[in-house]
Amino acid sequence: MTDRQSNIAVVTGAGSGIGRAVAVELLRAGWSVALAGRRAEPLAATAALAATAALAPGAASLAVPTDVSRPEDVEALFTATVERFGRVDLLFNNAGTFGPGGVPVEELPYDAWRHVVDTNLNGAFLCAQAAYRRMKEQDPQGGRIINNGSVSAHTPRPRSVAYTATKHALTGLTKSLSLDGRPYRIAVGQIDIGNAATDMTARMETGALQANGEVVPEPVMDVADVARTVRHMAELPLEANVQFATVLATAMPYIGRG
């Protein structure tokens, strides 16, 4: 744990996958967590999963159904968090979507492109902006934002133009927020994840399209390893920051020729 007086987190996309794993990890470590996601039922399942663990004293969860692409939903999320817990110490900006997979760029519908941009980029901006406002004004001042990037922020997969473009943009968002947050003790970093085992990545183990046109199964890693990395980043003192971290399945085709 840190030496701060409180540990209050907002986790978006908390109803499944990486968001759920991170939320449960933080709750088990004594954080209080606002669980954000589009549907109430998966958020309740995340809270129930955390409740079965040996939670540290003081940990509590708050489920807030939220569409991060809607400014009014995001504002309601952070208002509810502050009303319940008093402040915001951490935002894990995790909500995202791949969009339609395997669609050639010339055939990608504009609506599909827009949905990915609205969720992955606009949603991340809206949540970061709302967190930034609270962190700047609260006492003690400051907090931390961790954006969920992807190894696609460095190297694209075939036929992933919308997802890859938003993840590259997220890196720019991370850098800009990190710079602008310095005067207010707001630390901003990014975790880039490759092949964590979740429902979203189940297809990797059966076969993923490679740059040479082949479809090849890829190794995955335990999502708990991602959650522990996020927790490490989150629990650093605000005087220290992991600017960028890359966590991936060791043998996935990413470095060099794979």
For the chain (258 residues), the mean pLDDT of every run of 10, in chain order, is: 69 97 95 97 93 77 97 98 98 95 92 97 98 98 97 87 96 98 98 87 75 83 96 98 96 78
What are the helix (H) ranges across 118-244? 123-137, 161-181, 202-206, 223-234
Q: Residue 1 has what pLDDT?
A: 38
Kindly name the residue from 110, 132, 163, 254 that is annotated as catalytic.
163
Q: What is the pLDDT of residue 3?
A: 43
Tokens representing residue 123 in the block: 């949603």
Q: What is the pLDDT of residue 108?
A: 96
Q: What is the pLDDT of residue 2?
A: 42
In the residue annotation, 163 being an active-site residue is answered as yes
- Output the pLDDT for position 257: 59
- Torsion, Cα of 117, 12, 167, 72 (10° steps): 30
Q: Which residue has the tokens 């003690």?
A: 140
- Which phi and psi (to 5°) does residue 39 adopt? -115, 135
Phi, psi for 215 (deg, rounded to 5): -110, 120
